[in-house]
Amino acid sequence: MTYETDELCSCDSASGLMIDTGLPPSNAPNACDLYENVAYDQYWRRADRQKLNELEHAIVNELLPITGQRIIDLGCGYGRLADCYMNRFRISVMFDGSRSLLQAAQKITGGKALYVLGDINHLPFKTAAFDCAIMVRTFHHLDDSLSFTKNLRRILCGGGTFIVNYSNKRNIYRVLKYLLGNRSHNPFSCEPDTAEPNFIHHHPDFIRKLLENAGFNISDIRGAGILDKVAGVLPTFLFPILPTGKTLAKVFGKLFLAPWIFLKATVNAGETLLPTTAAEELLNCPQCGSQPVRSPSGFYCKECQQVYPLDDGIIDMRISTT
Ligand SMILES: [Zn+2]
């Protein structure tokens, strides 16, 4: 099933304002399944998403290290941001819970990455496997951000970089709505806002504590979703002269006014980067933590007998329950 372009966004019923979630209308119980067979690229090709897409590329390009050894794109989708990092790292791993999106990512990146289908709550990679991780438009789907952050810390080496964005519950739109009495959830309270299914909004203080407690140091902040949003709703012929908000992204980020906050965080201390040359050696059995071995159909864990099929260049590292 594919969704028509107009269906690929949600409407904030409290205000009537469109929020740029990119989510299809879905009742999928698992966030992993939200994007299966969804034409997510159509959402980002819409004229009213052009400026936001440009801005997010600009922010990611600024925050990413100039170069590195291995990067993982967590929730890579169809590879929207792959052009930001593919040429900067020796090995790129594209990780997603949707096979159809990974197939699209394969096409967009010409098969030059390692494509891993998996559950983000059970990252199937070795300790200190990467020196960089990027996670854009995914954090708000996490059920257990505490467990995820600890796991992420495990697969990053000491000094490694994490680029992430999250939906800011304390953004200027939500604050104004709250002050005008149009929203019941207090944007100033620290706990996550879980009112919308599969879409969690976080307070900046919550994210800061989460990352610091896991051993990260936040070094840079950007904000998106204000000027680019204004540009996105104005007539198309004005696009070339309207700003994306790149120059003000630092201000919007530091004041935490923007709906989307981008962070750059660094692992304070930890293991040195795992010495390996082949991307497949980065894999770990998500069930028992052993290294899977190659098998005729893909990969196999001798310890727990889990089978991980390799199909058309995509390694399925999900734990099978059958
Ligand atoms: Zn195993």
pLDDT tens-digit map of 10-66: 333 333 333 445 555 455 556 556 677 667 777 777 777 777 888 899 999 999 999
CA of 227 relative to ligand 1 center, distance in Å: 48
How many whole angstroms separate alpha carbon 276 and alpha carbon 129? Answer: 9
**What pTM value is reported for the model?**
0.85
CA of 186 relative to ligand 1 center, distance in Å: 44
| 133 closest CA partner among 110, 153, 161, 105 | 161
CA of 153 relative to ligand 1 center, distance in Å: 21
- The answer to whether residue 77 scores a pLDDT higher than 90 is yes
Are 262 and 253 in contact by the 8 Å Cβ rule? The answer is yes
pLDDT tens-digit map of 120-175: 999 999 999 999 999 999 999 998 999 999 999 999 999 999 999 999 998 888 88
CA of 280 relative to ligand 1 center, distance in Å: 15
CA of 170 relative to ligand 1 center, distance in Å: 42
Q: Give Cα 236 distance to the centre of its chain.
A: 28
CA of 72 relative to ligand 1 center, distance in Å: 22
How many whole angstroms separate alpha carbon 176 and alpha carbon 189? Answer: 15
| 262 closest CA partner among 288, 239, 228, 234 | 228
How many whole angstroms separate alpha carbon 309 and alpha carbon 322? Answer: 14
Residue 9 — very low, low, confident or very high, per pLDDT cuts 50/70/90? Answer: very low
CA of 286 relative to ligand 1 center, distance in Å: 7
- Report residue 179 as tokens: 């002050």
